[in-house]
Amino acid sequence: MKIKNLLRNMRNNPLLWKYNRLLICMVSFTMFINLSCGSDQAVKAPADVVIAKSPEEIEEKIEEQLKQSIDFILNNGDKMKDSTVIPHIDALNKVYTSGAYQPLWSDKGNWLPRGDSLFFLVSKAKEFGLFPSDYHLLPLLAIRNKIVTDTVARKNVALWARADLLLSDAYLLMASHLKYGHFDRDSITVSNDSLFNTTKQVDVLKNGIVQGQLRSTLESLEPVHQGYKQIRELLPRFLDTAQFREYTIITFPNPDSTAVYGEVAKRLQEAGLLAADWNPADSATYTKAVKTYQQANGIRTTGVAAELTIKSLNNTDWEKFKRIAITLDRYRQQIPEHMPETFVWVNLPAYQLTVVDTDTVVMQSKIIVGAVKTRTPVLSSEITNFITYPQWTVPYSIIFKEMLPKIQEDITYLEKQNLMVVDKYDSVVNPAEVEWNKVTRNNFPYLIRQRQGDDNSLGLMKFNFRNKYAVYLHDTNARGLFGKKDRALSHGCVRVQEWEKLSRFLVRNDEIRYNPDTIKAWIGRQEKHIISDFARVPIYIRYFTIEAKDDKLRFFDDIYGEDRFLADRYFKSKPIS
Protein backbone atom coordinates (compact mmCIF):
# COMPACT_ATOMS: atom_id res chain seq x y z
CA MET A 1 0.00 0.00 0.00
CA LYS A 2 2.83 2.41 0.88
CA ILE A 3 4.51 1.74 -2.50
CA LYS A 4 1.22 2.41 -4.35
CA ASN A 5 0.76 5.73 -2.51
CA LEU A 6 4.36 6.68 -3.26
CA LEU A 7 3.89 6.00 -6.96
CA ARG A 8 0.60 7.96 -6.98
CA ASN A 9 2.32 10.99 -5.34
CA MET A 10 5.19 10.80 -7.83
CA ARG A 11 2.79 10.87 -10.79
CA ASN A 12 1.04 13.91 -9.34
CA ASN A 13 4.39 15.71 -9.30
CA PRO A 14 5.80 15.75 -12.89
CA LEU A 15 9.33 16.74 -11.92
CA LEU A 16 9.52 14.13 -9.18
CA TRP A 17 8.07 11.49 -11.51
CA LYS A 18 10.56 12.30 -14.29
CA TYR A 19 13.52 12.17 -11.93
CA ASN A 20 12.49 8.92 -10.24
CA ARG A 21 11.55 7.22 -13.49
CA LEU A 22 15.16 7.82 -14.63
CA LEU A 23 16.40 6.47 -11.30
CA ILE A 24 14.27 3.33 -11.65
CA CYS A 25 15.67 2.71 -15.17
CA MET A 26 19.24 3.05 -13.91
CA VAL A 27 18.66 0.66 -11.04
CA SER A 28 16.98 -1.84 -13.36
CA PHE A 29 19.88 -1.66 -15.83
CA THR A 30 22.41 -2.14 -13.03
CA MET A 31 20.50 -5.18 -11.76
CA PHE A 32 20.45 -6.60 -15.31
CA ILE A 33 24.21 -6.15 -15.70
CA ASN A 34 24.89 -7.71 -12.31
CA LEU A 35 22.68 -10.66 -13.14
CA SER A 36 24.37 -11.10 -16.52
CA CYS A 37 27.86 -10.98 -15.03
CA GLY A 38 26.71 -13.26 -12.28
CA SER A 39 25.90 -15.95 -14.84
CA ASP A 40 29.64 -16.36 -15.53
CA GLN A 41 30.66 -16.03 -11.92
CA ALA A 42 28.17 -18.71 -10.97
CA VAL A 43 30.38 -21.37 -12.58
CA LYS A 44 32.39 -22.68 -9.66
CA ALA A 45 36.08 -23.40 -10.08
CA PRO A 46 36.81 -27.12 -9.73
CA ALA A 47 38.30 -28.23 -6.44
CA ASP A 48 42.01 -29.03 -6.31
CA VAL A 49 41.44 -32.09 -4.17
CA VAL A 50 38.59 -34.58 -4.55
CA ILE A 51 39.50 -37.80 -2.78
CA ALA A 52 37.92 -41.11 -3.75
CA LYS A 53 38.11 -44.08 -1.39
CA SER A 54 38.05 -46.74 -4.11
CA PRO A 55 38.60 -47.17 -7.87
CA GLU A 56 34.83 -47.38 -8.31
CA GLU A 57 34.39 -44.05 -6.54
CA ILE A 58 37.00 -42.49 -8.85
CA GLU A 59 34.84 -43.57 -11.78
CA GLU A 60 31.77 -42.00 -10.16
CA LYS A 61 33.36 -38.70 -9.22
CA ILE A 62 35.50 -38.04 -12.31
CA GLU A 63 32.40 -37.50 -14.45
CA GLU A 64 31.35 -34.54 -12.29
CA GLN A 65 34.93 -33.26 -12.04
CA LEU A 66 35.47 -33.27 -15.82
CA LYS A 67 32.16 -31.53 -16.46
CA GLN A 68 32.85 -28.88 -13.84
CA SER A 69 36.40 -28.32 -15.18
CA ILE A 70 35.21 -27.93 -18.77
CA ASP A 71 32.40 -25.55 -17.79
CA PHE A 72 34.88 -23.46 -15.81
CA ILE A 73 37.37 -23.27 -18.72
CA LEU A 74 34.61 -22.30 -21.15
CA ASN A 75 33.59 -19.44 -18.86
CA ASN A 76 37.14 -18.39 -17.92
CA GLY A 77 38.62 -17.31 -21.24
CA ASP A 78 39.73 -20.84 -22.21
CA LYS A 79 41.90 -21.03 -19.11
CA MET A 80 42.17 -23.50 -16.28
CA LYS A 81 42.11 -22.36 -12.68
CA ASP A 82 45.90 -21.80 -12.73
CA SER A 83 45.67 -19.84 -16.04
CA THR A 84 46.89 -22.73 -18.21
CA VAL A 85 45.38 -22.03 -21.64
CA ILE A 86 43.35 -24.82 -23.28
CA PRO A 87 42.96 -23.50 -26.85
CA HIS A 88 40.86 -26.44 -28.08
CA ILE A 89 38.29 -26.41 -25.28
CA ASP A 90 35.31 -26.20 -27.69
CA ALA A 91 36.35 -29.45 -29.34
CA LEU A 92 37.10 -31.07 -25.97
CA ASN A 93 33.67 -30.03 -24.72
CA LYS A 94 32.04 -31.86 -27.63
CA VAL A 95 34.17 -34.97 -27.22
CA TYR A 96 33.67 -35.28 -23.47
CA THR A 97 29.97 -34.42 -23.65
CA SER A 98 29.35 -37.12 -26.26
CA GLY A 99 31.30 -39.56 -24.09
CA ALA A 100 29.28 -38.83 -20.94
CA TYR A 101 32.31 -37.08 -19.40
CA GLN A 102 34.32 -40.28 -19.09
CA PRO A 103 38.13 -39.96 -19.06
CA LEU A 104 39.93 -40.76 -22.31
CA TRP A 105 43.38 -41.62 -20.98
CA SER A 106 42.83 -43.35 -17.62
CA ASP A 107 40.41 -45.73 -15.94
CA LYS A 108 39.64 -46.02 -12.23
CA GLY A 109 42.94 -44.54 -11.10
CA ASN A 110 45.19 -46.26 -13.65
CA TRP A 111 46.67 -45.01 -16.91
CA LEU A 112 45.32 -46.67 -20.01
CA PRO A 113 47.98 -47.86 -22.51
CA ARG A 114 46.99 -45.01 -24.84
CA GLY A 115 47.48 -42.54 -21.97
CA ASP A 116 51.04 -43.77 -21.51
CA SER A 117 51.55 -43.70 -25.29
CA LEU A 118 50.38 -40.11 -25.59
CA PHE A 119 52.53 -38.94 -22.69
CA PHE A 120 55.50 -40.62 -24.37
CA LEU A 121 54.66 -38.84 -27.65
CA VAL A 122 54.56 -35.49 -25.86
CA SER A 123 57.88 -36.14 -24.12
CA LYS A 124 59.43 -37.12 -27.49
CA ALA A 125 57.93 -34.18 -29.41
CA LYS A 126 61.44 -33.11 -30.51
CA GLU A 127 61.41 -36.07 -32.91
CA PHE A 128 58.69 -34.19 -34.81
CA GLY A 129 60.65 -30.93 -34.68
CA LEU A 130 58.35 -29.69 -31.90
CA PHE A 131 59.01 -28.40 -28.39
CA PRO A 132 57.60 -30.68 -25.62
CA SER A 133 56.88 -27.71 -23.35
CA ASP A 134 54.26 -26.50 -25.86
CA TYR A 135 52.14 -29.56 -25.08
CA HIS A 136 51.73 -29.30 -21.30
CA LEU A 137 54.71 -31.58 -20.64
CA LEU A 138 55.77 -29.99 -17.34
CA PRO A 139 52.34 -30.03 -15.62
CA LEU A 140 51.69 -33.55 -16.96
CA LEU A 141 55.05 -34.74 -15.67
CA ALA A 142 54.34 -33.17 -12.27
CA ILE A 143 50.97 -34.95 -12.04
CA ARG A 144 52.41 -38.32 -13.06
CA ASN A 145 55.27 -38.04 -10.57
CA LYS A 146 52.86 -37.05 -7.81
CA ILE A 147 50.56 -39.98 -8.52
CA VAL A 148 53.49 -42.41 -8.46
CA THR A 149 55.07 -41.12 -5.24
CA ASP A 150 52.00 -40.09 -3.22
CA THR A 151 49.29 -42.64 -2.44
CA VAL A 152 46.83 -39.89 -1.47
CA ALA A 153 47.42 -38.09 -4.76
CA ARG A 154 46.64 -41.31 -6.61
CA LYS A 155 43.12 -41.14 -5.14
CA ASN A 156 42.69 -37.47 -6.07
CA VAL A 157 40.05 -37.36 -8.80
CA ALA A 158 40.88 -33.71 -9.52
CA LEU A 159 44.41 -34.68 -10.62
CA TRP A 160 43.13 -37.41 -12.94
CA ALA A 161 40.58 -35.05 -14.52
CA ARG A 162 43.18 -32.33 -15.01
CA ALA A 163 45.65 -34.75 -16.59
CA ASP A 164 42.95 -36.03 -18.95
CA LEU A 165 42.14 -32.57 -20.25
CA LEU A 166 45.82 -31.65 -20.60
CA LEU A 167 46.56 -34.82 -22.58
CA SER A 168 43.58 -34.30 -24.90
CA ASP A 169 44.55 -30.69 -25.57
CA ALA A 170 48.20 -31.68 -26.07
CA TYR A 171 47.17 -34.14 -28.78
CA LEU A 172 45.16 -31.52 -30.66
CA LEU A 173 47.96 -28.96 -30.30
CA MET A 174 50.47 -31.40 -31.79
CA ALA A 175 48.04 -32.18 -34.61
CA SER A 176 47.56 -28.48 -35.38
CA HIS A 177 51.28 -27.69 -35.37
CA LEU A 178 52.18 -30.72 -37.50
CA LYS A 179 49.58 -29.80 -40.10
CA TYR A 180 49.69 -26.00 -40.09
CA GLY A 181 52.87 -24.94 -38.25
CA HIS A 182 53.46 -22.34 -35.52
CA PHE A 183 54.18 -19.11 -37.34
CA ASP A 184 51.98 -16.20 -38.36
CA ARG A 185 50.62 -16.47 -41.89
CA ASP A 186 52.23 -14.40 -44.65
CA SER A 187 52.03 -13.89 -48.41
CA ILE A 188 53.43 -17.33 -49.31
CA THR A 189 51.62 -19.40 -46.68
CA VAL A 190 49.62 -22.14 -48.37
CA SER A 191 48.39 -24.03 -45.29
CA ASN A 192 45.07 -22.76 -43.98
CA ASP A 193 44.74 -23.27 -40.22
CA SER A 194 41.15 -22.03 -40.32
CA LEU A 195 40.30 -25.45 -41.77
CA PHE A 196 41.25 -26.99 -38.42
CA ASN A 197 37.87 -26.10 -36.99
CA THR A 198 36.08 -27.69 -34.06
CA THR A 199 34.57 -30.45 -36.20
CA LYS A 200 37.99 -31.37 -37.64
CA GLN A 201 39.56 -31.30 -34.18
CA VAL A 202 36.89 -33.67 -32.81
CA ASP A 203 37.49 -36.05 -35.73
CA VAL A 204 41.28 -36.04 -35.25
CA LEU A 205 40.99 -36.80 -31.53
CA LYS A 206 38.35 -39.51 -31.95
CA ASN A 207 40.20 -41.14 -34.86
CA GLY A 208 43.42 -41.34 -32.89
CA ILE A 209 41.64 -43.01 -29.98
CA VAL A 210 39.35 -45.32 -31.96
CA GLN A 211 42.10 -46.52 -34.29
CA GLY A 212 44.51 -46.92 -31.39
CA GLN A 213 47.28 -45.43 -33.53
CA LEU A 214 48.05 -42.07 -31.98
CA ARG A 215 51.46 -41.63 -33.57
CA SER A 216 50.45 -42.73 -37.06
CA THR A 217 47.39 -40.46 -36.92
CA LEU A 218 49.66 -37.50 -36.14
CA GLU A 219 52.16 -38.52 -38.82
CA SER A 220 49.37 -38.67 -41.40
CA LEU A 221 48.96 -34.89 -40.93
CA GLU A 222 52.58 -34.09 -41.86
CA PRO A 223 53.76 -32.89 -45.29
CA VAL A 224 54.60 -35.57 -47.84
CA HIS A 225 57.30 -33.49 -49.54
CA GLN A 226 60.48 -35.52 -49.94
CA GLY A 227 62.70 -32.81 -48.46
CA TYR A 228 60.56 -32.73 -45.30
CA LYS A 229 60.52 -36.50 -44.94
CA GLN A 230 64.28 -36.76 -45.29
CA ILE A 231 64.90 -34.22 -42.51
CA ARG A 232 62.37 -35.98 -40.26
CA GLU A 233 64.08 -39.34 -40.83
CA LEU A 234 67.48 -37.94 -39.82
CA LEU A 235 66.19 -35.92 -36.85
CA PRO A 236 66.18 -38.79 -34.27
CA ARG A 237 69.82 -39.50 -35.10
CA PHE A 238 70.68 -35.84 -34.54
CA LEU A 239 68.84 -35.90 -31.20
CA ASP A 240 70.71 -39.02 -30.07
CA THR A 241 74.06 -37.23 -30.22
CA ALA A 242 72.96 -33.67 -29.45
CA GLN A 243 74.09 -32.02 -26.23
CA PHE A 244 71.40 -29.59 -25.17
CA ARG A 245 72.34 -26.91 -22.69
CA GLU A 246 72.14 -23.14 -22.43
CA TYR A 247 75.07 -21.27 -23.94
CA THR A 248 75.83 -17.58 -24.27
CA ILE A 249 74.89 -16.27 -27.71
CA ILE A 250 77.56 -13.85 -28.91
CA THR A 251 76.26 -10.65 -30.49
CA PHE A 252 77.92 -10.20 -33.87
CA PRO A 253 78.66 -7.94 -35.61
CA ASN A 254 79.14 -5.68 -32.61
CA PRO A 255 81.11 -2.40 -32.66
CA ASP A 256 81.92 -2.89 -28.97
CA SER A 257 84.99 -5.14 -29.18
CA THR A 258 85.22 -5.33 -25.38
CA ALA A 259 81.70 -6.77 -25.20
CA VAL A 260 82.56 -9.35 -27.89
CA TYR A 261 85.73 -10.31 -25.99
CA GLY A 262 83.70 -10.84 -22.82
CA GLU A 263 80.94 -12.87 -24.53
CA VAL A 264 83.46 -15.10 -26.34
CA ALA A 265 85.31 -15.69 -23.08
CA LYS A 266 82.07 -16.64 -21.29
CA ARG A 267 81.16 -19.00 -24.11
CA LEU A 268 84.60 -20.64 -23.92
CA GLN A 269 84.18 -21.00 -20.15
CA GLU A 270 80.83 -22.74 -20.73
CA ALA A 271 82.58 -25.12 -23.14
CA GLY A 272 85.25 -25.90 -20.54
CA LEU A 273 88.04 -24.35 -22.61
CA LEU A 274 88.62 -21.44 -20.26
CA ALA A 275 88.74 -21.69 -16.46
CA ALA A 276 85.83 -20.28 -14.51
CA ASP A 277 88.23 -18.07 -12.50
CA TRP A 278 90.05 -16.82 -15.60
CA ASN A 279 91.26 -13.22 -15.31
CA PRO A 280 90.08 -11.00 -18.23
CA ALA A 281 93.51 -9.37 -18.23
CA ASP A 282 95.08 -12.71 -19.17
CA SER A 283 94.79 -12.38 -22.95
CA ALA A 284 97.38 -15.09 -23.63
CA THR A 285 95.22 -17.79 -22.03
CA TYR A 286 92.18 -16.43 -23.89
CA THR A 287 94.04 -16.63 -27.22
CA LYS A 288 95.14 -20.19 -26.46
CA ALA A 289 91.53 -21.21 -25.72
CA VAL A 290 90.33 -19.65 -28.99
CA LYS A 291 93.02 -21.57 -30.91
CA THR A 292 92.03 -24.82 -29.21
CA TYR A 293 88.41 -24.28 -30.26
CA GLN A 294 89.36 -23.32 -33.82
CA GLN A 295 91.58 -26.38 -34.22
CA ALA A 296 88.85 -28.73 -32.97
CA ASN A 297 86.27 -27.24 -35.36
CA GLY A 298 88.26 -27.00 -38.58
CA ILE A 299 88.67 -23.22 -38.47
CA ARG A 300 91.93 -21.53 -39.41
CA THR A 301 93.91 -21.32 -36.18
CA THR A 302 94.52 -17.63 -35.56
CA GLY A 303 93.61 -17.15 -31.91
CA VAL A 304 91.31 -14.30 -32.98
CA ALA A 305 87.54 -14.82 -32.57
CA ALA A 306 86.40 -13.36 -35.90
CA GLU A 307 83.21 -14.00 -37.87
CA LEU A 308 83.68 -17.71 -38.68
CA THR A 309 84.68 -18.58 -35.13
CA ILE A 310 81.78 -16.68 -33.61
CA LYS A 311 79.30 -18.26 -36.02
CA SER A 312 80.58 -21.66 -34.98
CA LEU A 313 80.41 -20.82 -31.27
CA ASN A 314 76.81 -19.65 -31.70
CA ASN A 315 75.85 -22.76 -33.66
CA THR A 316 75.18 -25.01 -30.64
CA ASP A 317 73.07 -28.15 -30.82
CA TRP A 318 70.16 -26.29 -29.20
CA GLU A 319 70.38 -23.52 -31.79
CA LYS A 320 70.59 -26.16 -34.53
CA PHE A 321 67.43 -27.81 -33.22
CA LYS A 322 65.61 -24.48 -33.34
CA ARG A 323 66.65 -24.09 -36.97
CA ILE A 324 65.45 -27.63 -37.72
CA ALA A 325 62.10 -26.79 -36.11
CA ILE A 326 61.87 -23.59 -38.17
CA THR A 327 62.69 -25.40 -41.43
CA LEU A 328 60.10 -28.12 -40.78
CA ASP A 329 57.52 -25.44 -40.02
CA ARG A 330 58.34 -23.71 -43.30
CA TYR A 331 57.59 -26.96 -45.11
CA ARG A 332 54.27 -27.24 -43.26
CA GLN A 333 53.23 -23.71 -44.11
CA GLN A 334 54.89 -22.82 -47.41
CA ILE A 335 54.78 -25.99 -49.51
CA PRO A 336 51.59 -27.10 -51.28
CA GLU A 337 50.20 -30.44 -50.15
CA HIS A 338 50.81 -31.75 -53.67
CA MET A 339 53.65 -30.20 -55.63
CA PRO A 340 53.25 -29.81 -59.42
CA GLU A 341 54.82 -32.43 -61.66
CA THR A 342 57.39 -29.93 -62.93
CA PHE A 343 58.78 -26.98 -61.01
CA VAL A 344 61.82 -24.80 -60.36
CA TRP A 345 63.00 -24.65 -56.75
CA VAL A 346 65.29 -21.79 -55.66
CA ASN A 347 66.72 -22.14 -52.15
CA LEU A 348 68.37 -18.85 -51.20
CA PRO A 349 70.62 -19.94 -48.27
CA ALA A 350 71.83 -22.95 -50.29
CA TYR A 351 72.68 -20.69 -53.27
CA GLN A 352 71.11 -23.32 -55.49
CA LEU A 353 68.45 -23.65 -58.18
CA THR A 354 66.95 -27.10 -58.78
CA VAL A 355 64.61 -28.22 -61.56
CA VAL A 356 62.35 -31.18 -60.75
CA ASP A 357 60.40 -33.10 -63.38
CA THR A 358 58.23 -36.13 -62.48
CA ASP A 359 59.94 -36.58 -59.10
CA THR A 360 63.40 -36.46 -60.69
CA VAL A 361 66.02 -33.75 -60.34
CA VAL A 362 66.86 -32.97 -63.96
CA MET A 363 69.26 -30.08 -63.37
CA GLN A 364 70.88 -27.99 -60.66
CA SER A 365 72.76 -24.72 -60.80
CA LYS A 366 74.73 -22.44 -58.55
CA ILE A 367 73.05 -19.09 -58.05
CA ILE A 368 73.87 -15.63 -56.76
CA VAL A 369 71.17 -14.04 -54.59
CA GLY A 370 70.40 -10.65 -53.12
CA ALA A 371 72.78 -9.09 -50.63
CA VAL A 372 71.61 -8.51 -47.06
CA LYS A 373 70.57 -4.93 -47.85
CA THR A 374 68.83 -5.94 -51.10
CA ARG A 375 67.37 -9.32 -50.25
CA THR A 376 65.82 -11.65 -52.79
CA PRO A 377 62.17 -12.06 -51.74
CA VAL A 378 60.51 -15.41 -51.13
CA LEU A 379 57.63 -15.93 -53.55
CA SER A 380 55.66 -18.35 -55.72
CA SER A 381 55.07 -17.72 -59.42
CA GLU A 382 55.43 -19.22 -62.91
CA ILE A 383 58.14 -18.68 -65.50
CA THR A 384 56.32 -17.09 -68.43
CA ASN A 385 59.12 -16.37 -70.92
CA PHE A 386 62.83 -15.93 -71.43
CA ILE A 387 64.72 -13.38 -73.50
CA THR A 388 67.99 -13.67 -75.39
CA TYR A 389 70.19 -10.58 -75.38
CA PRO A 390 68.08 -8.75 -72.79
CA GLN A 391 68.47 -5.07 -72.06
CA TRP A 392 68.72 -3.96 -68.46
CA THR A 393 66.67 -0.96 -67.40
CA VAL A 394 68.29 0.17 -64.17
CA PRO A 395 65.81 0.46 -61.25
CA TYR A 396 65.53 3.96 -59.79
CA SER A 397 66.65 2.65 -56.40
CA ILE A 398 70.01 1.66 -57.90
CA ILE A 399 70.28 4.86 -59.94
CA PHE A 400 69.93 7.15 -56.93
CA LYS A 401 71.73 5.05 -54.33
CA GLU A 402 74.70 3.92 -56.40
CA MET A 403 74.99 5.36 -59.88
CA LEU A 404 74.08 9.03 -59.66
CA PRO A 405 76.90 10.02 -57.27
CA LYS A 406 79.42 8.29 -59.58
CA ILE A 407 77.96 9.94 -62.70
CA GLN A 408 78.06 13.37 -61.05
CA GLU A 409 81.69 12.77 -60.13
CA ASP A 410 82.72 11.48 -63.59
CA ILE A 411 80.36 11.34 -66.57
CA THR A 412 82.55 8.73 -68.27
CA TYR A 413 81.21 6.24 -65.70
CA LEU A 414 78.24 5.74 -68.06
CA GLU A 415 80.44 4.71 -70.97
CA LYS A 416 82.63 2.48 -68.84
CA GLN A 417 79.54 0.63 -67.55
CA ASN A 418 78.01 0.38 -71.04
CA LEU A 419 75.08 2.56 -69.93
CA MET A 420 72.92 4.89 -71.98
CA VAL A 421 70.40 7.57 -70.99
CA VAL A 422 66.96 7.55 -72.66
CA ASP A 423 64.04 9.96 -72.35
CA LYS A 424 60.34 9.23 -71.96
CA TYR A 425 60.05 8.73 -75.74
CA ASP A 426 62.72 6.00 -75.58
CA SER A 427 65.18 8.20 -77.47
CA VAL A 428 68.84 8.09 -76.53
CA VAL A 429 70.02 11.28 -74.81
CA ASN A 430 73.56 12.63 -74.97
CA PRO A 431 74.67 12.46 -71.31
CA ALA A 432 76.84 15.54 -71.79
CA GLU A 433 73.65 17.58 -72.35
CA VAL A 434 72.19 16.61 -68.97
CA GLU A 435 72.86 18.96 -66.04
CA TRP A 436 73.73 16.16 -63.65
CA ASN A 437 74.40 18.48 -60.71
CA LYS A 438 70.74 19.58 -60.83
CA VAL A 439 69.28 16.09 -61.12
CA THR A 440 67.39 14.83 -58.03
CA ARG A 441 65.12 11.94 -57.17
CA ASN A 442 62.11 14.18 -57.84
CA ASN A 443 63.57 15.68 -60.99
CA PHE A 444 64.81 12.86 -63.23
CA PRO A 445 62.83 12.52 -66.50
CA TYR A 446 65.09 9.76 -67.82
CA LEU A 447 65.78 6.03 -67.76
CA ILE A 448 69.21 4.50 -67.66
CA ARG A 449 69.66 1.32 -69.68
CA GLN A 450 72.57 -0.98 -70.24
CA ARG A 451 73.36 -1.96 -73.80
CA GLN A 452 72.85 -5.57 -74.77
CA GLY A 453 75.71 -8.00 -74.89
CA ASP A 454 78.32 -9.69 -72.72
CA ASP A 455 78.91 -6.48 -70.80
CA ASN A 456 75.25 -6.30 -69.77
CA SER A 457 74.60 -7.03 -66.09
CA LEU A 458 71.82 -9.44 -67.17
CA GLY A 459 74.26 -11.35 -69.34
CA LEU A 460 72.87 -13.18 -72.35
CA MET A 461 69.53 -14.40 -71.01
CA LYS A 462 66.74 -13.33 -68.68
CA PHE A 463 63.84 -15.43 -67.33
CA ASN A 464 60.65 -13.60 -66.37
CA PHE A 465 57.91 -14.52 -63.89
CA ARG A 466 55.16 -12.31 -62.50
CA ASN A 467 55.83 -10.81 -59.08
CA LYS A 468 55.37 -7.52 -57.28
CA TYR A 469 59.09 -7.16 -56.51
CA ALA A 470 60.32 -6.79 -60.13
CA VAL A 471 62.85 -9.61 -59.71
CA TYR A 472 63.75 -12.32 -62.20
CA LEU A 473 66.38 -14.96 -63.04
CA HIS A 474 69.23 -14.05 -65.37
CA ASP A 475 72.74 -14.68 -66.57
CA THR A 476 75.47 -12.26 -65.49
CA ASN A 477 78.54 -10.55 -66.88
CA ALA A 478 80.37 -11.26 -63.61
CA ARG A 479 80.51 -15.06 -63.92
CA GLY A 480 83.59 -15.36 -61.74
CA LEU A 481 81.44 -14.66 -58.67
CA PHE A 482 79.98 -18.18 -58.89
CA GLY A 483 83.29 -19.40 -57.48
CA LYS A 484 82.67 -17.63 -54.17
CA LYS A 485 81.26 -19.52 -51.18
CA ASP A 486 79.15 -16.58 -49.97
CA ARG A 487 77.05 -15.54 -52.93
CA ALA A 488 74.60 -13.05 -51.40
CA LEU A 489 75.81 -10.33 -53.73
CA SER A 490 73.05 -9.12 -56.08
CA HIS A 491 70.53 -6.29 -55.95
CA GLY A 492 67.70 -8.81 -55.44
CA CYS A 493 67.45 -10.75 -58.69
CA VAL A 494 68.80 -14.31 -58.95
CA ARG A 495 71.79 -14.89 -61.21
CA VAL A 496 71.90 -18.43 -62.64
CA GLN A 497 75.16 -20.10 -63.65
CA GLU A 498 73.49 -22.80 -65.79
CA TRP A 499 71.13 -20.43 -67.60
CA GLU A 500 71.64 -22.20 -70.92
CA LYS A 501 70.55 -25.58 -69.48
CA LEU A 502 67.50 -23.93 -67.94
CA SER A 503 66.45 -22.43 -71.26
CA ARG A 504 66.83 -25.80 -72.98
CA PHE A 505 64.66 -27.45 -70.37
CA LEU A 506 61.87 -24.92 -70.76
CA VAL A 507 61.58 -25.57 -74.51
CA ARG A 508 62.44 -29.29 -74.34
CA ASN A 509 59.11 -30.26 -75.91
CA ASP A 510 59.64 -28.17 -79.05
CA GLU A 511 63.13 -28.98 -80.27
CA ILE A 512 62.16 -28.37 -83.90
CA ARG A 513 61.87 -24.61 -83.38
CA TYR A 514 64.02 -24.25 -80.31
CA ASN A 515 66.83 -26.75 -80.56
CA PRO A 516 70.08 -25.80 -78.79
CA ASP A 517 71.76 -24.80 -82.05
CA THR A 518 69.01 -22.29 -82.85
CA ILE A 519 69.28 -20.56 -79.47
CA LYS A 520 73.09 -20.57 -79.71
CA ALA A 521 72.86 -19.01 -83.17
CA TRP A 522 70.63 -16.21 -81.89
CA ILE A 523 73.12 -15.44 -79.17
CA GLY A 524 76.03 -15.67 -81.60
CA ARG A 525 74.31 -13.16 -83.86
CA GLN A 526 73.46 -11.00 -80.82
CA GLU A 527 69.73 -11.21 -81.60
CA LYS A 528 67.04 -10.39 -79.11
CA HIS A 529 64.22 -12.98 -79.03
CA ILE A 530 61.38 -13.41 -76.56
CA ILE A 531 60.39 -17.08 -76.16
CA SER A 532 57.05 -17.57 -74.43
CA ASP A 533 55.26 -20.39 -76.26
CA PHE A 534 56.09 -23.16 -73.78
CA ALA A 535 54.19 -24.61 -70.84
CA ARG A 536 54.59 -22.29 -67.88
CA VAL A 537 56.73 -23.76 -65.14
CA PRO A 538 55.97 -23.01 -61.47
CA ILE A 539 58.83 -21.42 -59.55
CA TYR A 540 59.23 -21.40 -55.77
CA ILE A 541 61.80 -19.10 -54.20
CA ARG A 542 62.23 -20.15 -50.59
CA TYR A 543 64.47 -19.65 -47.54
CA PHE A 544 65.34 -23.11 -46.15
CA THR A 545 68.57 -23.23 -44.16
CA ILE A 546 68.60 -27.02 -43.70
CA GLU A 547 68.39 -29.93 -46.10
CA ALA A 548 69.10 -33.66 -45.93
CA LYS A 549 71.80 -34.84 -48.30
CA ASP A 550 73.98 -37.94 -48.38
CA ASP A 551 72.25 -39.23 -45.26
CA LYS A 552 73.27 -36.12 -43.27
CA LEU A 553 71.68 -32.85 -42.22
CA ARG A 554 73.30 -29.90 -43.97
CA PHE A 555 73.11 -26.48 -42.31
CA PHE A 556 73.42 -23.40 -44.51
CA ASP A 557 74.29 -19.91 -43.30
CA ASP A 558 71.31 -17.88 -42.10
CA ILE A 559 72.28 -15.22 -44.63
CA TYR A 560 69.38 -12.82 -43.93
CA GLY A 561 69.00 -13.59 -40.21
CA GLU A 562 65.50 -14.98 -40.80
CA ASP A 563 66.06 -18.04 -38.59
CA ARG A 564 67.42 -15.88 -35.79
CA PHE A 565 64.40 -13.58 -36.00
CA LEU A 566 61.90 -16.46 -35.80
CA ALA A 567 63.85 -18.26 -33.08
CA ASP A 568 63.89 -15.12 -30.93
CA ARG A 569 60.21 -14.43 -31.58
CA TYR A 570 58.77 -17.90 -31.06
CA PHE A 571 61.34 -20.10 -29.32
CA LYS A 572 63.54 -17.86 -27.17
CA SER A 573 61.96 -18.84 -23.86
CA LYS A 574 61.54 -22.55 -24.61
CA PRO A 575 63.06 -24.77 -21.91
CA ILE A 576 65.60 -27.22 -23.26
CA SER A 577 64.21 -30.24 -21.39
**Region of poorest pLDDT, from 5-9, 169-173, 201-205, 569-573:** 5-9
DSSP class of residue 352 equals: E
pLDDT in tens, 296-350: 999 999 999 999 999 999 999 999 999 999 999 999 999 998 999 999 999 999 9
* 492: nearest Cα among 401, 398, 410, 412: 398
Q: Which residue has the higher pLDDT, 99 or 34?
A: 99
pLDDT at 212 over 90: no
Percent of the chain with pLDDT over 90: 70
Q: How confident is the model at residue 42 (pLDDT cuts 50, 70, 90)?
A: low
pLDDT at 65 over 50: yes
Average pLDDT over residues 166-193: 92
pLDDT in tens, 154-169: 999 999 999 999 999 9
Q: How confident is the model at residue 37 (pLDDT cuts 50, 70, 90)?
A: very low
pLDDT at 452 over 80: no
pLDDT at 241 over 80: yes
pLDDT in tens, 271-284: 999 999 999 999 99
CB–CB of 72/64 below 8 Å?
Answer: no
DSSP string, 84-113: -B-TTHHHHHHHHHHTTT--SSEETTEE-H
pLDDT at 141 over 50: yes
**Beta-ladder partners of 381:** 539
pLDDT at 16 over 50: no
H helix and E strand count, the chain: 21, 18
Give the whole-angstrom CA distance, residue 268 versus residue 260.
Answer: 12
* CA atoms within a 13 Å half-sphere pointing along the CA-CB vector of 343: 17
pLDDT at 24 over 60: no
The three-point CA angle 491-496-502 to 5° equals 140
pLDDT in tens, 397-438: 888 888 999 998 899 999 888 899 988 888 898 998 888 888
What confidence score (pLDDT) does residue 64 get?
94
Q: How confident is the model at residue 513 (pLDDT cuts 50, 70, 90)?
A: confident
Highest mean pLDDT among 432-441, 452-461, 484-493, 510-519: 484-493
pLDDT in tens, 339-372: 999 999 999 999 999 999 999 999 999 999 999 9
What confidence score (pLDDT) does residue 517 get?
85
Is the link from the previous residue into 253 a cis peptide, with omega within 30 of 0?
Answer: yes
What confidence score (pLDDT) does residue 32 get?
41
Helix (H) or strand (E) holding 26: helix 14-41
Highest mean pLDDT among 392-396, 451-455, 501-505: 501-505
Q: How confident is the model at residue 13 (pLDDT cuts 50, 70, 90)?
A: low
What confidence score (pLDDT) does residue 415 get?
87
Average pLDDT over residues 39-65: 85
What confidence score (pLDDT) does residue 8 get?
47
pLDDT in tens, 111-139: 999 999 999 999 999 999 999 999 999 99
CB–CB of 212/114 below 8 Å?
Answer: yes
CB–CB of 60/38 below 8 Å?
Answer: no
CB–CB of 246/267 below 8 Å?
Answer: no
CB–CB of 224/336 below 8 Å?
Answer: no
What confidence score (pLDDT) does residue 26 get?
45
pLDDT at 549 over 70: yes
